[in-house]
Each structure stands twice: as structure tokens, then as C-alpha cells.
Structure 1
Amino acid sequence: MPAVGERIRELRIARGLSQAELGSGRYSGSYICHIETGRRRPNTEVLDFLAERLGLDAWELDPDSQEAADADMVALLASARRLVRTRQWDEAARMATRASVIAAGAGREMRRWEADHLVAQALMSGGRYDEAAELAAGLARRSSVVGVADLRVEAHILASRAHRASGRLADAASEARAALAEADQIDPGLLSSAIVALLAALEMADSPSDTSELETRLEGLVDILDPSDASQAAWALGNLAFGRGDTEAGIVWHRRAGELCDPRAEPQTWARILQATAYFLVQSGGDLSLARRLFEDSRPLVTLLGSPGDRVDMRLVQARLDLRGDDPEAAERLLDHLLGETATLDDERLRGEVLESLAEARAVLGRVDEARAALREAAGAFEAAQAPVRALRLWHRYAELESPGNCCQRN
């Protein structure tokens, strides 16, 4: 191992140490001499000791170890990305974590950031939202990316999405605002992603914040974005149009989002756009037959490719269709089942959505006390999800249900 010996000799001399001083009583000067001349091969324990004496990491003494570490990191990250594509998220997170450990040991901070970002993505896809949000938020503030704005923005956006998925909507908005503050100076794709993340958090929270400026900026970006980013922007603009009662504009934007999204390359996203259109049509009292058709078109792909939260959202649309189709008993059965599923997701926003629909089904069935109990739980869930406006709306509905004459009214 002459290269290692030469490296140790150079560093020892540069630090003004004799061979005996480097050995520090643990290894003799003659033993250090044998290492420096390549006659003895130091094991890991010896390398660790000498590296500590020289104020370095062990990998800095052994170029071969550096090359091997790089090869291991590349292989592990490639495996992790492949596992993400095949939806083996826990195993992907494990592989990427191993790559991160190797990168940290080798002092490769940017490689470590890359590995940890992939861990956060895998955790997010696998429904481990709180872990993903905590890791992503830390990545945005890690010292290794202080001077790399695009990486900070990407991490803030991922943290925002993970917080939103877990129902922590104020935290989601905060991370999205942090991304937006820096994204203006980067590229249109990251800027649009930051705006979409912020609008999504505000829309889910039913926030009174004025979003008109954000909408205007996003509309101005759609035509210059690549199709994938443009699809996400159009989807968000459609959601906002539906939310303010402009069903026609909502359908137009969602249709454009679907046309921009290639179902062969992004089948999950394409299916979720159809599902979103169906959801808003049901909520707004729009074309029920169109909503059913879109829902049936999206269901197989969401079932196959969606995350646990995506699948609950899909079946929530089915329950809403049952309510609109005058089958509140079927809706209640499905919603009771979904309520059990949300208990494992740690998503208070989604739990609130299910409870709100369950309250409506029970009200339609004339079971006022049970409907009020569900509304009370739903309001608490939205409070926990940092959505006080939505919670207050449900408390108002709770008060309205005190009157027997209101118990069968639909929203």
C-alpha cells in the first residue's frame, strides 16, 4: 500500500512529527516506517488512529478507499432510485440511507445531501410524511447548500409537500414561502413549483389569504414551462377556480393539465388530475355523469400506483358520489371504513375530510346526534391540521344541526 504510506509520510512531515511521535506510544517509530515505505499494510484500526493523529478522516489517507466509497455510493443511489420507481419505498429509503452514511464518512457533503434528499422522497412516497418533512426541512438549512439556492428551494418544496400530506398546513405554507422567496432568482420550473406548493397549502386550509397575485404569476408561467411543470401549474389553477365557484374555468384548467401530462410517462399524476376534477364536480354540484366517468377512468391507476393517502382520497370521492347519487347508506359504510384507514396515516387534514363527509351522510340519514359528533371530531381534526377557517366552518355547521329542521339538508 505504497500510496497510503507516501500520503502518511507527507502529512506527518508537514505537521512536524517524527515517526515515533505519530505513533504516540501506541505504535513504534519502526512500525510507522514500515507503513510509510509500503512494507506493512495498515488495517482499519491503524488507519483510524493515524488519521485522528493527523487531524483527518481515514478515507483521506487512502485514495483507494475514496474510490471504493464513491463506487458504493453510486451503486446504492442507483438501486434506491430504481426501488422508488417500483414503489418499494421502505427499501429505497434504506438504500439511500446507507449511501448517506458512506458519504458522511468520506466527507462528501454534496453526495450526502443527494442521498438524504432521496431518502426524504422515498419516505414521502411511502406515507411517512412527518419523517420526510423533518428531513427535507433540515436539508434546506444544511450548511453544505448555503450557497446553492436551487437545492435549498427543492428541499423547501419537498418539506412543504410532506407537511401538506400530513395535514400540517401552516407549516406547509411556511416552507413554500421560504422556497418562493429564493425561487425568483433561479428558473421558472422551480418558481412555479414553489407557487403551486404555497397555493395548495392555502387552498387546503381554506385560507382567507389573497392568492390573486400568485395566480397571476402562475398563469404567466404556464406557456413557458416544460409540459410536466406546466401540467402541475394548470392543475393548481383549476383547483383554485373550482374553489371560488368557477366550475367552467376549473374544468378548462384541469383539462389543459391532463393534456399536458403524458399518461405513459406520468400515469399516477394523470390519474390524480382526473380524480381531482371528479372531486370538485361532486363538491360543486356539477355534472355528476362526467364526475363518475372521470372517477372510473382514474380509479385503476390510483389503486395501482397511488400512495396510501392517494387511495383514501380516491375512495372519498367514491363516497361523495354515493351521497350525490342518493345512496347515503353506501357512503356511510365506505366512510366508516376510511376513518379506520386514516388512523394509520397521521394525516389530520384527510381525517377531517372523511369525518366531514361522514357527518353529511349521517345527517341525510336523519341521525342528527351522530352527525354532530362527527362534525365535532372533524373540526378538531382541522384545528390539528392548522386549518382554523375550515374548523370554524364546521363548528357553524355543528350549531346549525341543533335544529331538527336542518338535519337533512345537504351542503
Structure 2
Amino acid sequence: MGRIFGNRLRAERLSRGLTQEQLGGPECSHSYVSLLERGVREPSMEILGGLARRLGLPPGELEQWALQPTVQDQEYSLAALHAWCAWDVGDYESAASHALVAAQFARESRKDATVCEMNLLRAECLTRLGRHEQGRNLVNLLLANTLTSGNAGLRSEAHQLSARMSLAEQSFRGAAAQAQEGLTQGAVLGEDSTVRLSALHLVIRALLSEGHKEAAWRHCELASDDVVPERAPAHLRGRLAWVVGDVAFARGQAKRGIERHERAVGLLRPQVDLKEWAAFNLSSARARLEAGVADDATLACLDRAGSAQDILGQDDPGTGNPGIGGEPQRELRLLRAWWLHAQGRDSEALDQLAPFEERSQRMDRLSSEAAFLGGRILLGLGAPDDALARLALAQEGFFRLRNLRGAQGVADLILDISRTRYANPSPALAHCAAS
């Protein structure tokens, strides 16, 4: 039946405020309804009958959608198809442009649910492009729309999108509030609803980012394997395992964090989102290293992240650090150096850090961390002067970033060097050190 049937099915479902779970009923799962709406599955006559009953339509009407499309349906479907295809390949500029055209055609044919769907896609694209003000304006229009007032799923998705924009802007309090509202709206949906589970994931992530570890941990109880049903999408369960592991690491429960991250490895799908797969493995490796765990599993995380980055071909010449590459590649290099240092392979670790030595106009987070690690390694190799030079750069970077914890760590190490160097100084040298 194709894309035209799928678009019409989704529009009718949204206009009635039904979730995919509710529309699917006992005949098919929400994931199968999603495939129907994307036009990649052909429903049987039995399934068509069940869908028609839950939509309140005559049994044969769904067949007619594919056989007798209107001109407006064809125009909308073509524009929407271009939008989704562009979205699938990561061309968010084109996706937003085609979604705007599709929304205009849908508005002309008075399909309010379809207008909302395309505007939601546009807002998502604008968020991916970093144009948060435009995206937030669209979200506000969606929330003010009378259709979304009675559609918990749409309202939850809109609040979640607003939360993701706030997270990108590091406005963690606003992100937590929007994510919580999204979870409240999604509470009426099924326990395996992707909308509700996505909102739960965002709430935990936002609370952890804001520093509320215990509040985040309380929400983690709702994301346990005992609560989240197995029929929920595997990739979404993987995201939940990832964020629960992050909270466990933050609370000092390394064993629990490792167990959850290992669970995420088996659930997250690189083919669903390769960039997210790379980010997860980098995040997991960092959490392990910060917890003092530098084992083969940590190296495996780094190798998986490296393989994903090779496929993505990420290269950001605007980093100010030629030869290092984009930020994910720079972080991978830093974490490899950290792992090598933990293995006692300090010469190899310094080789990994060598590209960071070329000082940029401004010390960023990774450059500061690399300088700090390099200072610790050089100190262990018996080169205190070189270590102090690196540590001075690290301290400068941490202060600029307002990372007081990092700056304090550098200061403590510099103080240890000073105490060792001036343990038995001459009176004159002692006076200089005191000054």
C-alpha cells in the first residue's frame, strides 16, 4: 500500500489522539504499526479490519486510501517522503525544508494532525542543526495547538524536544522541568510506549546533568529490567541501561554501573544510530576510567568507538587543533592515553597526547584534561619541570572553564611537587618558596 497509506493512517491516528499501541490493539504491536505508517509493510485483511474498527471507520475505507489518493494526499506524501528520506541520511536542512512544504499541503487539505507531525519533524531538524530558537518557537506553536491539547503522545513528544534543546544549551533546570512534563503527559500511554520510555530517559539524563544524583536514581527504579517490558524496542532499553549506568557511576557504584553499561552494549543498535553508538562507548570508557577501571572491557569500549568514528569519518577542521580532528576523535585520543597510563605504558600515552601540545588560542575542556594527564605522567617519569609547565596550562584551562574541581586537583598536585622539591631547601631557597 506504500507511503500514501502510511501517511494517511498516521494522520487519522493522531487526529483521534491514539497511540500506536492503542491503534494496533491485539492484532499487531506498536512497532508493526510504525512500519505500516512508514509504508514498509503490507497489512493483511484481518489487520485492516482491526485498524478500521479502532479508527471508527467502515471496514473497506482503509483499502481505498491506497487505491484512490487525492491530489492533496499525493502532494503531501511526496513532500513528506522527501523529508523522511533526508532525515534518514542526516540531511536535516533538506528534511526541514521538505517538512515545511508537506505541512503547507496538509494545511490546505485541513489535516491538522499531519500539520503537527511535520512541524514536529521540522523542530527536530532545527534542533539537530543547532537553531534552537526557531525550534523552540515551533514547539510552542505545537503546544498551543488545540489538537495537541487532547493528544498526550504529541504533547509529550513536544515537551521532550524542548528538553533536548535545553540540554544542548546546558540549561539543565529547564531541561529537567520539560522532561518531567513530557513524562507526566506520557504517563497515560502503555508501559512499553516509546514516547513514555523516551521521556523517562530524558528525565534521568536531565536530573543527572543538573547534579541531582539521588533524584535521578529514584527514577532509575522505573527503568529497571523488572519494570520495562521486553517487548519495548531494544535500542530504547539500551538507552535506559546506559543512563542508569551513568547514575550508578556518579553515585560511586562502579560495579552496578559496569553491569548496566554491559547491558546497554547488548541492546543498543549501531545500525539505528551509529553516532550515538560511538558516543555511548566513549562515555562508558570515561566512566570506567574515572572509577579506576582500566581493564580489557574498557579497551573494548575504546575500540568500538574508534571503529564507529572511522565509519562516520568525523573531522572538524574548526577545532583550532589541526591534526587532532573533531571532538569525538580528540576525546578518543585522550581516553586511550588515559588507559595506556593506567597500564604503565607512559611513553605510548605521551605519544597519544602529543597533538594536544600545540596550544590553541583558547584551552578547551579536552585540552585542559590532556595537559593535566600529561603533567601527571611527566611527574611519574621524573621530569617535574616539564610536568609543571603542563599543569600550568591545565590550571589555566580549568579556571577559564570554571571547573573548580579540576583546578583544585591541579593545585594539589603542584603543591605536592613543591613539597617534594623543597623538602630540605637551603634558607635562601626556602624563603623563595615561601614567597
**TM-score when normalising by structure 1:** 0.67
- The equivalent position to 2:104 in structure 1, one of 98, 101, 105, is 101
**What corresponds to 1:86 in structure 2?**
89
- The equivalent position to 2:401 in structure 1, one of 378, 386, 395, is 378
Q: Provide the rounded CA distance (Å) in 2 between the counterparts of 1:157 and 1:316.
A: 28
Amino acid at match of 2:172: L
**What corresponds to 2:331 in structure 1?**
316
Alignment CA distance shift 1:261-1:248 (3 Å):
same
Amino acid at match of 2:220: E
Q: Deviations over 1:320-368 (max 9, x none)?
A: 322443435743734979x88xx9xxxxxxx974365245246543234
**Shift of the alpha carbon at 1:192?**
2.2
**What corresponds to 2:260 in structure 1?**
253
Q: Deviations over 1:135-184 (max 9, x none)?
A: 34543443331110111101111221232133222222121111122222
Q: Provide the rounded CA distance (Å) in 2 between the counterparts of 1:304 and 1:131.
A: 31
Amino acid at match of 1:110: A
- The equivalent position to 2:186 in structure 1, one of 178, 183, 186, is 183
**Shift of the alpha carbon at 1:210?**
2.5
Q: Provide the rounded CA distance (Å) in 1 between the counterparts of 2:203 and 2:310.
A: 27
Contact 2:237-2:267 within 8 A present in 1 as well? yes
Higher-Rg structure is 1
**What corresponds to 1:233 in structure 2?**
240
The answer to which of 181-190 and 110-119 deviates more is 181-190
Q: Does 1:117 align with 2:125?
A: no
- The equivalent position to 1:279 in structure 2, one of 286, 311, 316, is 286
Alignment CA distance shift 1:139-1:328 (3 Å):
farther
**What corresponds to 2:161 in structure 1?**
158
Q: Does 1:213 align with 2:218?
A: yes
**What corresponds to 1:294 in structure 2?**
301
Q: Provide the rounded CA distance (Å) in 1 between the counterparts of 2:116 and 2:313.
A: 27
**What corresponds to 1:4 in structure 2?**
none
Alignment CA distance shift 1:139-1:294 (3 Å):
same
Q: Secondary structure, in 3 states, of the residue corresponding to 2:401?
A: helix
- The equivalent position to 2:228 in structure 1, one of 222, 228, 232, is 222
**Shift of the alpha carbon at 1:129?**
4.8
Q: Deviations over 1:227-247 (max 9, x none)?
A: 232122111111112222222
**What corresponds to 2:61 in structure 1?**
none
**What corresponds to 1:387 in structure 2?**
none
Please provide the CA RMSD for this pair. 3.6
Contact 1:97-1:115 within 8 A present in 2 as well? yes
**Shift of the alpha carbon at 1:223?**
3.6
**Shift of the alpha carbon at 1:375?**
0.9
Alignment CA distance shift 1:85-1:303 (3 Å):
farther
Contact 1:139-1:155 within 8 A present in 2 as well? yes
The answer to which of 277-286 and 299-308 deviates more is 299-308
Q: Provide the rounded CA distance (Å) in 1 between the counterparts of 2:110 and 2:358.
A: 51
Q: Secondary structure, in 3 states, of the residue corresponding to 2:142?
A: helix
Q: Secondary structure, in 3 states, of the residue corresponding to 1:366?
A: helix
**What corresponds to 2:142 in structure 1?**
139
Q: Provide the rounded CA distance (Å) in 1 between the counterparts of 2:219 and 2:89.
A: 35
Q: Provide the rounded CA distance (Å) in 2 between the counterparts of 1:254 and 1:407.
A: 41
**Shift of the alpha carbon at 1:400?**
4.7
The answer to which of 247-256 and 95-104 deviates more is 95-104
Amino acid at match of 1:331: L
**What corresponds to 1:75 in structure 2?**
78
The answer to which of 262-271 and 313-322 deviates more is 262-271
Q: What is the total number of aligned residue pairs between the two structures? A: 322
Contact 2:162-2:178 within 8 A present in 1 as well? yes
**TM-score when normalising by structure 2:** 0.63
Alignment CA distance shift 1:243-1:303 (3 Å):
farther
Q: Secondary structure, in 3 states, of the residue corresponding to 1:211?
A: helix
- The equivalent position to 2:202 in structure 1, one of 179, 190, 197, is 197
The structure with higher relative contact order (CA 8 Å, sep 6+) is: 1
Q: Deviations over 1:274-321 (max 9, x none)?
A: 333222122222125432332122223245449889962453133132
Alignment CA distance shift 1:134-1:323 (3 Å):
farther
**What corresponds to 1:369 in structure 2?**
392
**What corresponds to 1:52 in structure 2?**
none
Contact 2:365-2:398 within 8 A present in 1 as well? no
Amino acid at match of 2:334: A
Alignment CA distance shift 1:251-1:228 (3 Å):
same
**What corresponds to 2:366 in structure 1?**
354
Q: Secondary structure, in 3 states, of the residue corresponding to 2:211?
A: coil
Alignment CA distance shift 1:93-1:277 (3 Å):
same
Q: Provide the rounded CA distance (Å) in 1 between the counterparts of 2:337 and 2:298.
A: 12
Q: Provide the rounded CA distance (Å) in 2 between the counterparts of 1:336 and 1:114.
A: 48
Q: Provide the rounded CA distance (Å) in 2 between the counterparts of 1:168 and 1:332.
A: 34
Contact 2:365-2:397 within 8 A present in 1 as well? no
- Unaligned 5+ segments in structure 1 are 1-65, 344-350, 380-390
Q: Does 1:333 align with 2:336?
A: no
Q: Provide the rounded CA distance (Å) in 2 between the counterparts of 1:84 and 1:245.
A: 39
Amino acid at match of 2:228: V
- Unaligned 5+ segments in structure 2 are 1-68, 317-324, 341-345, 377-386, 421-435
Q: Deviations over 1:189-239 (max 9, x none)?
A: 333211210111222333355223201111143344332321221111111
**Shift of the alpha carbon at 1:76?**
1.0
Q: Provide the rounded CA distance (Å) in 2 between the counterparts of 1:103 and 1:321.
A: 51
